[in-house]
Every structure is written in C-alpha cells, then in structure tokens.
Amino acid sequence: MSLLANRPVRSRPVGRYAPSPTGKLHLGNARTALLAWLQIRQLKGIFILRMEDLDPARSVPEYALQILEDLHWLGIDWDEGPDVGGPCFPYVQSLRNHLYEQVLATWLAQERIYPCACSRKDLANLARAPHGPAEEGPPYPGLCRQLSPEAWREKYQKKGQASYRFLAPEGLLTYTDGVYGTVCQDVKAVVGDFVIRRADKVTAYQLAVVVDDALMGVTHVLRGDDLLSSTPRQILLYQALEASVPRFYHVPLVLGPDGVRLSKRHDGTSLESLRAKGISSEAVTGFLAATAGLLPSPEPLAPKDLIQLFSIDKLPREPFRVTEKDLKLLGL
C-alpha cells in the first residue's frame, strides 16, 4: 500500500508501549510497560510510546499527562513519543484519523470491507441464536454484505449510520506467539466479519493499532494476554496492508487481591497512589520484576539494572495475583 512508502527505514528492532488514557496507570500496566521496555533495551532497539486515545468518550487528557509522568518516575524512557517527537509524529491516535481514513478508502475500493447498518436489535438476535463457542459473542455472518442494493438502502435509512466491517477469509490462521507458542484461530468461524470503524465514525482498535504499528515499523509487540484473541484479526489486517507482521509476545495479566484483573477499581495499586505514600520507584520496579520471574524475590532496583536479566523464558505462564502480603511488602 502506498501509505507505507513514507514510513521510516528502521535498522534496529522497534518496540512500543501504547496505553489508553482512560484511567490511572496501575501495577499491571506498569509491569507490561516495564517488560516491553526491557525487551527492546536488551535488543538495543528503539522504544516508542504511543497514546491510544481513540474513544473521545472515555479518554481523559489529564490521564495521558499522568501516564507520562508515572512512566518517567518509574525510570522508563522512550526514543519517540508524544512529548519527544520522532519521525512518525504524531504519537497520539486521535491525531492520526486521516491515516485510518486512507486505509478505509483503499480497502473499500478493493472490496475488502463493506458498510454495515445492523442495529443493536439485529446483533442481539444473533446473540440469542444457537452458535458455537466465541469469546466475543456469535460470529457476524455478513448480513449486510448479502443484501441487495435496494434492501441495503432501506436498512441504512432506518438506522442513519453504518459501521465498516472487514471481510474475514475462511480458513485457519496460525502464528507463533513468543510466550504461548503456536496459536490457531479460524477468524471467520469465531468472529466473522469484524468491525474496523464504528457507526459513530470512531476507528476501531483493531485497525488503528495495526496501521500505527505498520507505519512506525514496530517489530516486537509485547502486551497483555487479554489481547491474544485479537491477534489473528490483526494479522489479517497486516496482510491486507501488505505490511510485515511483528513478533507477538502476550504476557499473563496481574490480578488484584479479589482475583479480578487490575483496573481503575483497584485505585490503591495506581502508581500515583504508590508515589503519594512515599514508596520508591525502585521498590515498585523490583516488585514487578519478581512477579515476572526476573528476580527470586523483590529488591529495590531501577529498570536499567534489569536489562541483562530479562528473558521471555523466565516469564510465568499464569496470571500473577497480588495478595495482601504483597501490598504490605510494598508498604501499602
């Protein structure tokens, strides 16, 4: 695709951390950021920070600034990002919509995507129908793609807006994850034709993350394993862009004492909260390194002290549950 012709030539590995400014950075976020940073610094590569603020209803500018401050406090730096610039500026997704629109226009002309005017009622009816196992509800069967032009126009007039769906090919997609090994998924059977732009014209995460990683020359994607099931869809989009597929590493998440994935509800585990209690960044880093198998037990260390200790093989394959004892060790 001609859009990729303008991307910078990279001679070193490129990794990134791409937080969403929808809440405060907590221990789980910080752990993923630390591991992604350690991997790329060990490879002597380029580390990018990108702000994924696609959804205006959920993104808060103050959180974006807080994330930058928290990462700096932790000792994580980046070579390119919103505050330092770089050859792929801007590093804020809400400022990159023109790029996503170019891709949509090209794929629409190539008939890789199609508009969908299915209402919530239509999709709810699908959910009630018998279907096989699917993590995100039943696969979308291409209802709008099968309509005649006249039937489509009538359906669109009732709703007044349309999303865009990517036409998923049939067949099994297989790739190798750096943590989970061989991963297989039949996207057509599991998800169906999937949304890449919502009806309210907000670009879907699946499209934006692929376009940005492709344009920025990202070679290594280390992120939480909650995105493992999204990866086959993203690989299809890389292929449609005719872009190189990065190496993926999906690491298990950090859970709170209640056994639930860390989130805004666990405010006491936010870096802002830890800082306010006088806990040092080195203590936090050492704790996170121990949860990732890089240290036998927590000890205060800066991220740079862990670069040579990093190894994908050391990472646990199960989620780490923060216990009350762990919180006490951190001084909480």
Burial 181-198 (b: 16+ CB within 10 A, else e): eebebebbebbbbbbbbe
> Is 88 one of the annotated binding-site residues?
no
What is the rounded radius of gyration, in angstroms, for the C-alpha atoms of the chain?
21
Question: How many Å apart are CA 197 and CA 214, to the nearest integer?
Answer: 18
**Identity of the amino acid at 21:** P
> Is 144 one of the annotated binding-site residues?
yes
Q: Which two tokens stand for residue 284?
A: 């936090």
Instruction: For residue 222, give Cα distances in angstroms to 91, 161, 182, 218.
Output: 18, 36, 16, 11
> Is 303 one of the annotated binding-site residues?
no
> Is 52 one of the annotated binding-site residues?
yes
> Is 264 one of the annotated binding-site residues?
yes
Q: Count other C-beta atoms under 10 Å from residue 4's C-beta.
A: 14
> Is 184 one of the annotated binding-site residues?
no
> Is 118 one of the annotated binding-site residues?
yes
**Identity of the amino acid at 8:** P
Q: What single DSSP character describes residue 80? A: B
> Is 18 one of the annotated binding-site residues?
yes
Catalytic residue ranges: 264
Return the half-sphere exposure (C-beta side, CA atoms, 13 A cut-off) of residue 145: 17
The label of the residue with tokens 């121990």 reads 290
> Is 238 one of the annotated binding-site residues?
no
3-state secondary structure of 208: helix
Q: Count other C-beta atoms under 10 Å from residue 101's C-beta.
A: 13
Q: What single DSSP character describes residue 231? A: H
Alpha-helix runs per DSSP H in 116-186: 120-128, 149-159
**Do you find a cis peptide bond into 90, omega within 30 degrees of 0?**
yes
3-state secondary structure of 53: coil
**Identity of the amino acid at 187:** V
> Is 62 one of the annotated binding-site residues?
no
Question: How many Å apart are CA 231 and CA 91, to the nearest integer?
Answer: 22
The label of the residue with tokens 């585990």 reads 269
Interacting residues of 280 by C-beta distance below 8 A, sequence separation 6+:
300
> Is 114 one of the annotated binding-site residues?
no
Which residues are part of a known binding site for Zn(2+)? 116, 118, 140, 144
Which residues are part of a known binding site for ATP? 264
Which residues are part of a known binding site? 16-20, 52, 116, 118, 140, 144, 205, 223, 264
Which residues are part of a known binding site for L-glutamate? 16-20, 52, 205, 223
